[in-house]
Amino acid sequence: MEYILISAVVALIASAISVFIVNKLHSAKFDIYIEQAKAKAKVIEHEAQVMLQDARHKAKIDFEKEFKNARHELETKERELNHRIDTQLKQIQSDKNIIENKKSEVSALQTGLEQLEKNYKQKIKQAVKILENASGLTQDEAKDLLLKQVKDDNRATIASLFRKEYKLAKENSNKEINNILSNAVTRYAGEFAAERLINHIPLPDDEAKGKIIGKEGRNIKALEFCLGVDIIIGDIPNTITVSSFNLYRRAISTRTITMLLEDGRIHPAKIEEVYSSVKKEFDEELHKEGEETILALGIKSMHPDLVHLIGKLRYRASYGQNALAHTLEVANLAGLIASQLGGDTILARRAGLMHDIGKALTHDMPGSHVDIGADLCKKLGEPEEVINAIYAHHGHADASSIEAAAVCAADALSAARPGARREVLESFLKRVEEIEAIAISHEGVRKAYAINAGRELRIIVNAQLVNDDESVLMATQIAKEIEDKVQYPGEIKVNVIRELRATGYAR
């Protein structure tokens, strides 16, 4: 047993010694490897330092070479620039010297001219004094006398030249104008709508008549007070007559009375209820009418207040001509005329649509429809061409654009065509008297007659005082005076008639 234990201990000791010896051998090998690696690292580090020094040396050589080239190039350009600057400075100095010399010469010439002008004025004054003493006339009197003599001597020549040029211009302009107007008129076919001052409402029976009148006339008084119109019953059998100059109010009244008759219940409270309902309905229709109008003309947008007033023109009239129908006619004609003249068609239509917009407010505001319409359009931001057209179509301003001129021509066409308007007899007679008085006031006129409903003026002149050329000049002068002093629709033709009759008797 002891032998076995001793053998085991010996074996363990031998194993331990063997392991220790092996570990020592391996440690010796690792040290050798480490020393070899360190030696190789030192070699690589040395080589890297050598290569770095070579690279630095090469980079330094290249940099010095590039720097030297750049410096040489910069010095060359600097020399060229300095040479150019010196050359320009020399040229500027030379020009400055020339300018100074010229300035001195100009100053000397100016001084000489001033002295000459002074001497000239003195000579003129001396000559004028000599002439005044010799003629017995002052300078202003002699000037007036000379101008009058020249005017009298050359009047015939001026009149003859004017006649030739006027005839040529008239032929060419009339041809072009007639072509434009005829094209516009033939392309537009408008309807004519004449307005009256009364509306008739049929009565179904006498019972309805009694209801309208009411007890002691209470209902008819309430109707007239609420509607603001005159209601006449009895002049025409079984008919109620509604009379008013305000077409809008008359239309509302007609529909209100018609609805009351259909309902059968007529008393002051019901009248006010139906009237309020009808007025609200009319306001909605007016706005709708205005929107349809601007859409039909191709106008994209417009202020809602103007749209409402356009619809309200349906119930306004001028000399019996419906204002909205006239406005649409002017807008379409203005657009056609402007398109032929190279203007803006849509802008011309817009100006034509707005030219009489003030008439929608003349029953509610004081002043002319021109001023009311222009102020309203300025306030609501309408274009300057539109405002100018409003002023120009009644001569309150000159047309400053093609569109405004087209509106003026279209307004004259619409208002002056036969049957378009009715005119009050008193104003017609007054206008005719004014036209004849203007013609008779001219020297050499014997008689003047306004014919063709005041659209033509025939003037008979003394043939011994007025020759053929002067008659042309007189016709133009009288036409201009009529334009400036008389308000009239359309145009007035002025004819100057000159006739010389000689009679002899053989006895």
This prediction has a pTM of: 0.46
Residues 454 and 354 in one domain: no
Quote helix, strand, coil % in the chain, to nearest 5.
70, 10, 20
Structure tokens at 448: 């003047």
Residue ranges making up the domain that contains 101: 1-107
Confidence tier at 322 by pLDDT (50, 70, 90): confident
Condensed to tens digits (0 to 9), the pLDDT of residues 246-291 reads 777 788 888 888 888 887 788 888 888 888 888 888 888 888 888 8
Task: Kindly report the backbone phi and psi dihedral angles of residue 401, in degrees, each rounded to the nearest multiple of 5, phi listed first.
Answer: -150, 165
Per-residue pLDDT, averaged over 373-392, amounts to: 88
Question: Which pLDDT value is given to residue 139?
Answer: 65
Number of domain units in the chain: 4
Per-residue pLDDT, averaged over 476-488, amounts to: 85
Q: By percentage, how much of the chain surpasses pLDDT 90?
A: 0
Cβ neighbour number for residue 449 with a 10 Å cutoff: 15
CA angle 237, 242, 246 (to 5 degrees): 160
Instruction: For residues 323 and 358, give the distance between their C-alpha atoms in angstroms, rounded to a whole number.
Output: 11
Residues 28 and 65 in one domain: yes
Per-residue pLDDT, averaged over 312-338, amounts to: 80
Question: Which pLDDT value is given to residue 193?
Answer: 43
Task: Kindly report the backbone phi and psi dihedral angles of residue 451, in degrees, each rounded to the nearest multiple of 5, phi listed first.
Answer: -125, 180
Q: Would you say residue 470 lies in a domain?
A: yes
Residues 63 and 95 in one domain: yes
Instruction: For residues 247 and 254, give the distance between their C-alpha atoms in angstroms, rounded to a whole number.
Output: 10
Q: Would you say residue 238 lies in a domain?
A: yes
Structure tokens at 465: 């005082």
Residue 494: strand pairing partners: 457
Matching residue, tokens 């980079």 = 59
Q: Would you say residue 162 lies in a domain?
A: no
CATH number for position 437? 3.30.70.1350
SS (HEC) of 441-456: CCCCEEEEEEECCCCE
Condensed to tens digits (0 to 9), the pLDDT of residues 170-198 reads 666 555 655 555 555 555 545 544 445 56
Contact between 434 and 486 under an 8 Å Cβ cutoff? The reply is yes
Contact between 349 and 335 under an 8 Å Cβ cutoff? The reply is yes
Contact between 181 and 338 under an 8 Å Cβ cutoff? The reply is no
Cβ neighbour number for residue 208 with a 10 Å cutoff: 18
- Classified as helix, coil or strand, 231 is strand
Task: Among 107, 124, 156, give the residue marking a domain's end.
Answer: 107
- At position 192, the amino acid (one-letter code) is F
Question: Which pLDDT value is given to residue 27?
Answer: 67
Per-residue pLDDT, averaged over 198-214, amounts to: 75
Considering the chain, what is the average pLDDT of its residues? 78
Contact between 239 and 203 under an 8 Å Cβ cutoff? The reply is yes
Distances, alpha carbon 409 to alpha carbons 177, 403, 414, 482, in Å:
10, 10, 9, 18
- At position 25, the amino acid (one-letter code) is L
Q: Would you say residue 80 lies in a domain?
A: yes
Task: Among 364, 382, 416, give the residue marking a domain's end.
Answer: 416
Question: Which pLDDT value is given to residue 167?
Answer: 65
Question: Which pLDDT value is given to residue 417?
Answer: 56
The DSSP annotation for 121-161 comes to HHHHHHHHHHHHHHHS--HHHHHHHHHHHHHHHHHHHHHHH
Q: Would you say residue 112 lies in a domain?
A: no
Condensed to tens digits (0 to 9), the pLDDT of residues 69-116 reads 888 888 888 888 888 888 888 888 888 888 888 888 888 888 888 888
Residues 89 and 17 in one domain: yes
Number of alpha carbons in the 13 Å side-chain half-sphere of residue 335: 18
Condensed to tens digits (0 to 9), the pLDDT of residues 418-461 reads 544 544 455 667 788 888 889 888 888 988 888 876 778 899 89
Residues 6+ apart with CB under 8 A from 409: 181, 333, 334, 337
Q: Would you say residue 173 lies in a domain?
A: no
Residues 37 and 61 in one domain: yes
Q: Would you say residue 169 lies in a domain?
A: no
501, pLDDT greater than 80: no
Q: Would you say residue 255 lies in a domain?
A: yes
Condensed to tens digits (0 to 9), the pLDDT of residues 389-410 reads 888 887 788 888 888 888 888 8
45, pLDDT greater than 50: yes
CATH number for position 331? 1.10.3210.10
Question: Which pLDDT value is given to residue 228?
Answer: 76
Matching residue, tokens 């008389």 = 486
Chain centre to alpha carbon of residue 373: 15
Residues 280 and 347 in one domain: no
467, pLDDT greater than 60: yes
Residues 376 and 457 in one domain: no
CATH number for position 282? 3.30.1370.10
Residues 345 and 309 in one domain: yes
Confidence tier at 160 by pLDDT (50, 70, 90): low
Task: Among 287, 322, 337, give the residue marking a domain's end.
Answer: 287
504, pLDDT greater than 50: yes
* Selection from 471, 465, 477 nearest residue 497 by Cα: 471
